[in-house]
């Protein structure tokens, strides 16, 4: 498809200069540009295809260089980015040189928050709406007609998230303009779960634009907050009156509800937005959209095409690029085996059955596997309840989303001494999703919990062995981390059969009789350490261990190594603050062991932005070459420098978009 309009859009001002009749053409161009790029690079596809017209209409009516636009589940922001001048960097999507796949203030002033977690937009929008009132910048029809309006765009079923409910509850108390646009596509990443999702599904199938014309003042006045709603009804334009929903669930939060309307009908969208943009009370615009709109295979399988790898289309067949066997696939097979052997094993995920690998086991064991929807806190508590009944619950969750359930891990799991098992996918640096999704702090937050056992998998055999250990660990919470990456071939480094996990014990991978240094690798970093050892084989004798546990540390091994005064380098794909290396240092301190010869290599204390995982690891010195470089620095340094206990990578790459952001990185 030849793009004629999209390359001319350098800002929303260019969009506003177009006649409405040209907007469907621009929508098609945006849709094709996103599709073609994601087919080459991977990225979030179906969510962005479904929100094109909605985004066009919002930018056509509002001025988001002045007004506030907050995104929920930021992976639906690609059309927004193309309308705000970032088409020239679309071809480097999700790389350091191109645009992020999520809203990113470092790129543009049109992005207010760097956000990739669900449920946040309404609450942050309420905060900005209140802040603008206090500073005198908020819109008011009578006193501040040039003030800032506030819009929250919510999609992919994140409206059912608990934080979104809290935001709605508070939004209903606002006495000013406040618009929540509900992009209701009937999907989360997978099929949405729960009563609210079921309600929205009923609304979509039972109410159309023609049906809601029956709305009348008497019906509206009977609802909670009816006097306010009735007043707004009288102020509304004819199109808005026709679209006001009777008995809408959101009215109970004090929000007038308009819709559902066709989220792909540009004229209706623009007409309604023009009429409601100045309402001086909170309002929800309920728009029904199709996830994956415009491409049949995306519409038919929106889950697969939610965030696909690069792909090709050959006739009616779509082929996704293979990146090798993933840890997620390995986990799915291992859990399937556990559930086959042990009927007490149950599992759940929070809206990520495909992303965590649970789709396979959910098909085989539908009565023992649950998708709770986007609600990690509830999922953790539900797992605690299952554990209390004597079952063996496994909670498969991305490391970045575990943070949302820490309070429940503390109160309902650890404090009760319940054996809930956490399977932490996407641990460490995650590649193209960037800073919003890195699993960089799971060790730090979980190690404070008494009785917790923290494990990491280095390859598929160790993943299986770790899950088996967790199945029988009943002392308290246990967690195993593994990355968004392909599993290594255990035969490649000749490390032999994988032994069973023994509580708090490391595994020797390569032993030298009189080593110059020892590497304790945590998780997949143990495999990278073996590669670094090979790079150094003609220079130094390096022993390598798979640490296996961050809690408890193999103190017996560390005691032996420190007694021999051998330099020890701990390596982890986790922040240096409170991670595995810190566990080793603290264990040594408590045991009265010397720590001057213990050095740490980990993710440094600055944000690592979007790029391939391989490039991110190299950036912070966690690839084989970087580890070898650190070992050389340790062993070649003069005697007077040997007291320095910490090694950090300080190498940084430049800005993703332009030179203006480099100063932000350096500060």
DSSP per-residue letters across 535-590: HHTTT--EEEEE--EEES--HHHHHHHHHTT--EEEEEEEESTTSHHHHHHHHHHH
- Looking at residue 651, its pLDDT comes to 38
Can you list the domains of the chain with their CATH numbers?
A: 65-75+99-291 (3.40.50.970), 327-481 (3.40.50.970), 512-660 (3.40.50.920)
pTM of the shown model: 0.86
- Looking at residue 197, its pLDDT comes to 54
Mean pLDDT over each residue of the chain, to the nearest integer: 87
Left if phi > 0, otherwise alpha if psi is -120 to 50, otherwise beta: which for 314? beta
pLDDT tens-place string over residues 406-433: 999 999 999 999 999 999 999 999 999 9
Q: Does the pLDDT at position 620 exceed 70?
A: yes
Rounded to whole angstroms, how far apart are CA atoms 298 and 386?
36
- Looking at residue 196, its pLDDT comes to 58
Among residues 570, 550, 567, 573, the alpha carbon closest in space to that of 622 is found at 573
- Looking at residue 182, its pLDDT comes to 92
- Strands of the 150-155 sheet, one edge to the other: 68-71, 150-155, 178-184, 282-288, 256-262
pLDDT tens-place string over residues 540-576: 999 999 999 999 999 999 999 999 999 999 999 999 9
Among residues 82, 85, 168, the alpha carbon closest in space to that of 123 is found at 168
DSSP 470-525: HHH--SS-EEEE--SSBPP-TTTTT--SPPPP-TT--EEEE--SS-SEEEEE-TTH
Rounded to whole angstroms, how far apart are CA atoms 663 and 665?
5
Q: Are strands 317-320 and 345-349 parallel, antiparallel or unpaired?
A: unpaired
Left if phi > 0, otherwise alpha if psi is -120 to 50, otherwise beta: which for 194? left
pLDDT tens-place string over residues 494-528: 888 999 999 999 999 999 999 999 999 999 999 99
Q: Would you name the residues annotated as active-site residues?
A: 291, 376, 404
Query: Is 226:262 a contact under the CB 8 Å cutoff?
Result: no
CB atoms near residue 662 (< 10 Å) = 14
Q: Which residues are bridge partners to 76 per DSSP?
A: none
Q: What element of type H or E holds 196? A: helix 195-206
Percent of the chain topping pLDDT 90: 70
Q: Does the pLDDT at position 187 exceed 80?
A: no
Q: Does the pLDDT at position 63 exceed 90?
A: yes
The predicted model gives 209-227 an average pLDDT of 39
pLDDT tens-place string over residues 119-168: 899 999 999 999 999 999 999 999 999 999 999 999 866 787 888 889 99
- Looking at residue 188, its pLDDT comes to 47
In this structure, what DSSP letter does residue 411 have?
I
pLDDT tens-place string over residues 244-291: 775 567 777 778 888 888 999 999 999 999 989 998 889 999 999 998
Tokens of 458: 């280095």
Among residues 414, 422, 372, 419, the alpha carbon closest in space to that of 397 is found at 422
pLDDT tens-place string over residues 328-374: 999 999 999 999 999 999 999 998 899 999 998 999 999 999 999 88
- pLDDT-based confidence at 14, cuts 50/70/90? very high
E strands, 321-429, in order? 345-349, 369-371, 392-398, 421-425
Q: What element of type H or E holds 338? A: helix 327-341
Q: Are strands 453-456 and 478-481 parallel, antiparallel or unpaired?
A: parallel
pLDDT tens-place string over residues 72-81: 988 899 999 9
- pLDDT-based confidence at 646, cuts 50/70/90? very low
Residue with token string 């007077």: 640
- Looking at residue 498, its pLDDT comes to 95
Rounded to whole angstroms, how far apart are CA atoms 383 and 389?
10
**Phi, psi at 146, each rounded to 5°:** -100, 15
């Amino acid at each position: 498809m030849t793009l004629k309009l999209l390359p001319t859009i350098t800002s929303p001002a260019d969009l506003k200069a177009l006649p409405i009749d040209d907007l469907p053409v621009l929508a098609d161009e945006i849709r094709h540009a996103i599709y073609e790029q994601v087919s080459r690079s991977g990225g979030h596809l179906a969510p962005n295809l479904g929100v094109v017209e909605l985004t066009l209409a919002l930018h056509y009516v509002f001025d988001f260089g002045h007004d506030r636009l907050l995104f929920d589940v930021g992976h639906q922001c690609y059309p927004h980015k193309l309308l705000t001048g970032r088409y020239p960097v679309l071809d480097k999507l999700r790389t350091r040189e191109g645009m992020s796949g999520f809203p990113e203030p470092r790129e543009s002033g049109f992005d207010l928050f760097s956000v990739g977690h669900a449920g946040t937009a309404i609450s942050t929008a309420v905060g900005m709406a209140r802040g603008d009132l206090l500073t005198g910048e908020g819109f008011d029809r009578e006193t501040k007609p040039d003030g800032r309006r506030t819009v929250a765009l919510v999609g992919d079923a994140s409206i059912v998230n608990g934080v979104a409910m809290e935001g709605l509850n508070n939004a209903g108390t606002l006495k000013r303009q406040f618009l929540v646009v509900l992009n209701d596509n009937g999907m989360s990443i997978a099929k949405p779960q729960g009563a609210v999702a079921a309600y929205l599904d009923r609304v979509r199938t039972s109410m159309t634009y023609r049906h809601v014309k029956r709305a009348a003042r008497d019906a509206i006045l009977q609802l909670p907050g009816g006097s306010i709603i009735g007043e707004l009804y009288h102020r509304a334009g004819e199109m808005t009156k026709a679209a006001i929903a009777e008995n809408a669930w959101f009215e109970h939060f004090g929000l007038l509800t308009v819709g559902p309307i066709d989220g792909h009908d540009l004229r209706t969208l623009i007409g309604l937005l023009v009429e409601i943009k100045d309402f001086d009370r909170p309002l929800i615009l309920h728009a029904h959209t199709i996830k994956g709109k415009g491409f049949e295979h995306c519409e038919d399988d929106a889950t697969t095409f939610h965030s696909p790898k690069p792909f090709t289309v050959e006739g009616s067949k779509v082929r996704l690029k293979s990146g090798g066997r993933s840890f997620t696939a390995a986990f799915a097979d291992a859990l399937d085996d556990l559930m086959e052997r042990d009927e007490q094993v149950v599992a759940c995920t929070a809206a990520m059955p495909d992303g965590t690998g649970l789709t396979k086991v959910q098909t085989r064991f539908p009565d023992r596997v649950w998708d709770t929807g986007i609600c990690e806190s509830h999922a953790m508590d539900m797992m605690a309840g299952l554990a209390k009944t004597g079952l063996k619950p496994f909670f498969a969750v991305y490391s970045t989303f575990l943070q949302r359930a820490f309070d429940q891990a503390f109160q309902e799991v650890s404090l009760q001494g319940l054996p809930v098992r956490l399977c932490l996918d996407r641990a460490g640096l995650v590649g193209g999703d960037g800073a919003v999704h890195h699993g960089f702090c799971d060790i730090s937050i979980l190690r404070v919990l008494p009785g917790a056992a923290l494990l990491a998998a280095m390859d598929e055999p160790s993943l299986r062995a770790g899950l088996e250990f967790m199945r029988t660990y009943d002392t308290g919470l246990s967690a195993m981390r593994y990355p968004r990456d392909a599993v290594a071939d255990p035969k490649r480094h000749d490390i032999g059969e994988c032994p069973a996990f023994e509580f708090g014990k490391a595994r020797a991978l390569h032993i030298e009789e009189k080593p110059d240094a020892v590497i304790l690798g945590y998780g997949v970093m143990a495999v990278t350490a073996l590669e670094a050892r090979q790079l150094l084989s003609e220079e130094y004798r390096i022993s390598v261990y798979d640490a296996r546990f961050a809690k408890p540390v193999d103190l017996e091994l560390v005691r032996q190594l420190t007694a021999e005064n051998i330099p020890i380098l701990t390596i982890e794909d986790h922040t240096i603050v409170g991670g595995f290396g810190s566990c080793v240092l603290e264990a040594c301190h408590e045991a009265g062991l010397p720590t001057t010869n213990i050095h740490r290599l980990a993710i440094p204390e600055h944000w690592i932005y979007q790029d391939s995982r391989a490039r991110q690891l190299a950036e912070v010195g966690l690839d084989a070459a970087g580890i070898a470089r650190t070992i050389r620095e340790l062993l070649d340094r003069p005697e007077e420098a040997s007291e320095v206990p910490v090694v950090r990578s300080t190498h940084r790459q430049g800005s993703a978009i332009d030179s203006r952001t480099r100063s932000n990185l350096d500060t």
